[in-house]
Amino acid sequence: ISKECIYSTALGEELTEKDYKDISGSDRQYTRKGERTNTNIMLEHNFIFGGFTLSAGVLANKNTGLDNDFRFYPGVDMSYRPNDNWKFYASWNKALRMPTYTDLYISNAVQQGDINLNPEKNSTFKVGTQYRQTGFAATVSGFYAHGTNMIDWVQTSETELADHKYHVMNIGKLNNMGYNVDATIYMRELVPNSFITRIKLGYASAPVSSSKIPFLYACPCNSRTVMLPDSSTGSPALDAFARRSSALTRDNRTLSLNGLVR
């Protein structure tokens, strides 16, 4: 059980004057308060049959920021080890993310929150294989994530675009599908006195697609990459901008090389 409680001058529900809290070191007072209690009950069981392992569980969650009902989120993890070198695995789970207090309550010249936001829901499936031997390891994995009621900061009018103001909304469905490949050389397992501990090379690709959503531009400060709609905005300049942005945000690819020296 965890409880979130904040006092603020900007976030949360407005307090009555008698409940204002003094701000230490200032003559100002906190005039707003936000609180919610999150209750989790987890049930999990593991089955082991030789090289095969199955873990199945369910999370019962109740958050007073929604209501007093429990919601259930199942998950399954499976793995198989035919020998000491190989491991094959797959997993599936459901999850929920509550809006932050900033998402709900912020209101200033460039951001507008929304107290009517719904929580994000996500269902994720992963599959992959790992190989390990003396001095070397490799992993190949793929994933598919389907999200609904996804939260993002967007602009829905030319006025907001001109004023550089974003407001938060549930943008709809978001699908991520991708894969990653990496290989690691453990130098000291091959050369005991090597000053290089390990060298790792990796590549990841994660295309993003979404349902049609009625906004012109997604906030660049948000870590989530979102597809822009293909339909016309009514403004030639905005249409051209949206097409350029859409073309640039269809796929996230990363190539990395790193090493550890001691």
Report residue 101's pLDDT band, with 50, 70 and 90 as the boundaries.
very high
In a domain, 53, yes or no: no
In a domain, 126, yes or no: yes
In a domain, 210, yes or no: yes
Domain count, the chain: 1
pTM summary value? 0.72
Q: What residue numbers bound the domain in which 175 lies?
A: 81-261
Tell me: the pLDDT tens digits for 43-79? 999 999 999 999 999 999 999 998 889 999 999 999 9
DSSP 69: -
Q: How far apart are CA 119 and CA 168, in angstroms?
A: 12
Nearest alpha-carbon partner for 176 in 152, 149, 144, 148: 144
In a domain, 96, yes or no: yes
Tell me: the pLDDT tens digits for 155-181? 877 777 777 888 899 988 888 999 999
Rg of the chain in Å (alpha carbons): 24
Task: Give the three-class secondary structure for 117.
Answer: coil
In a domain, 40, yes or no: no
In a domain, 12, yes or no: no
In a domain, 27, yes or no: no
Q: pLDDT at position 171, please?
A: 85
In a domain, 196, yes or no: yes
Q: How far apart are CA 142 and CA 202, in angstroms?
A: 14
